[in-house]
Structure 1
Amino acid sequence: MDLPDRLIARTALITGAGNGLGRAFALALDARGVRTILAGRRREPLEETRALLSGSRVATVDVADPASVAALAKELADEDISILVNNAGVPGPVKPLLEIEPEEWDDVFAVNVRGMYLVCRAFLPPMVARGAGDVINLASVSGKRPLANRTPYTASKMAVIGLTNTLGAEVGPSGVRVNSLSPGPVRGPRMERNFRLEAELTGGTAEDAERAFTSRAALGRMLEESEVADALVAMLSMTGLHCADIDLSAGMVGR
């Protein structure tokens, strides 16, 4: 793929960049000439991601903690960040709503929604002042269709889509674009964990849980991290995309 002109030499802040989709996003942006700042709670996986890139910066943060996010903004005050990828998130419990404790619910929303709000509040003002910038928030197909035994996660991802639409309406007139990306099941440790817990809950096997989940997708398969990363790059290259949620679910929403 040719280097999109609007990506070369820009700087992106990626939360949750130590592994999974965060790492895939960093690799895809780095390959297209974007300088990346890798943020997350633990430095070790961030350093592992940085070792795979041509040049980046690492910073630790707990996105759910206002003081930690404020400290990150102060630490990165010298950076001209024009791409913000709000990827940090937690999967939450796998069990029926009536068995979920309030603390479990709050833990999911603290990271998946409150964390996104805090990071946007900290890093959007310079973009608004410049009149340009891109924000991509990671939502999920789970926020758009039922997913039994995952209520806190699905509710949090629906909230992300609402946050994206409203924030986009607020900052769009300044020239800052805000969109969300909703992947379906992505192959990797997180989905393996979810399938294992679902199997424990239903008395089946992890393989049964995976087959049941992927059967909902028209393509009948899971996504690869690289596919989701390519979608993020494409979104950043679409200059008219704003207040939009992009479904990348292998046809799960369509069914």
Structure 2
Amino acid sequence: MAGIALKPGLRVLITAGASGIGRAIADLLIDNGARVHVCDVAEQHLADFSAAYPGHGASLCDVSDEEAVARLFEEVKAGLGGLDALINNAGIAGPTGGVEEIAPADWRRTIDVCLTGQFLCTHHGVPLLKQAGDGAIINLSSAAGRYGYAYRTPYSAAKWGVIGFTQSLAKELGPSGIRVNAILPGIIRGPRMEAVIRDRAAQVGVPYQAMEKQYLDRISLRRMTGPEDVAAMVLFLLSPAGINISGQSLGVDGNVESL
């Protein structure tokens, strides 16, 4: 039976990998023997990562910037010598507001980071994954990629797009031995989710605690998910145990029933 253990020295790029979910993924993969390169837009988080893992790579990169992504992959090739897995984790929460209130620039920025950024990294990553002969791509979507999300239309639209991108890539790249899956986190505990709940509470005019309870009441397990839970799913998918899993949208969310 296939085990949950990585191929020794698995070469992995994690976007937005220096903090939050990305850092949890990096920590777990490194603990399991992977060679990791992360990129991020936050210099302090990158410095913290490099201090913790001086033997692994770190690049400053905005994934929505074509030139920056091209430079990133040159650094990945120089540091790792190739690529076995790409984790498209970078994303932003985007604006909270009615569709008539959202600035077109904020819409474009959300789509650019959450969806176009995944395309750009995949565009550059696939040739390296094909050279490796057996690769994996994991795209971070969201429970918002499964349900409509009032007052968060840019984010939800981008995350629905990630699902279509994932399923199309799975068909396209399967013959090359590349597995492509999406992970759909739910309500992830931490400061980013706190900000989302606070903004949503202000939008509809209720106290923070009441809005937080509304979110939790829509989760069957009535609890938030931790970044480490998402990391565990990544580890599974990259291990031999996930060798025949592709084209899937996998919720790690305690069963979010609606948004």
What TM-score, normalized by structure 2, do the two folds share? Answer: 0.93
Unaligned runs of 5+ in 2: none
Deviations 1:75-100 (A, max 9, x none): 22232221110000000011111211
8 Å CA contact retained: 2:91, 2:113: yes
* Cα RMSD, aligned residues only: 1.8
The equivalent residue for 2:64 is 64
Please identify, of 46-55 and 15-24, the stretch whose mean Cα deviation from structure 2 is larger: 46-55
| Residue identity opposite 2:75 in structure 1 | E
CA distance 1:254–1:100, change in 2 (3 Å): closer
Deviations 1:27-63 (A, max 9, x none): 1111111111010123220121233347311111111
The equivalent residue for 1:183 is 185
Mapped to 2, the partners of 1:53 and 1:130 lie a distance apart of 24
8 Å CA contact retained: 1:27, 1:52: no
Unaligned runs of 5+ in 1: none
- 1:137-148 mapped onto 2 (5 Å cutoff): 137-148=139-150
Please identify, of 46-55 and 121-130, the stretch whose mean Cα deviation from structure 2 is larger: 46-55
CA distance 1:253–1:129, change in 2 (3 Å): farther
8 Å CA contact retained: 1:3, 1:32: no
Identity level (%): 33
The equivalent residue for 1:122 is 124
The equivalent residue for 2:221 is 219
Alignment length (residue pairs) = 254
Mapped to 2, the partners of 1:112 and 1:225 lie a distance apart of 18
The equivalent residue for 1:95 is 97
What TM-score, normalized by structure 1, do the two folds share? Answer: 0.94
Mapped to 2, the partners of 1:77 and 1:53 lie a distance apart of 18
Mapped to 2, the partners of 1:147 and 1:7 lie a distance apart of 39
> Higher RCO, 1 or 2 (CA under 8 Å, sep at least 6)?
2
Deviations 1:159-208 (A, max 9, x none): 00100110111111011111110010000111010011112112222221
Give how far 1:254 is off: 8.1
SS at match of 1:246: strand
Give how far 1:131 is off: 2.1
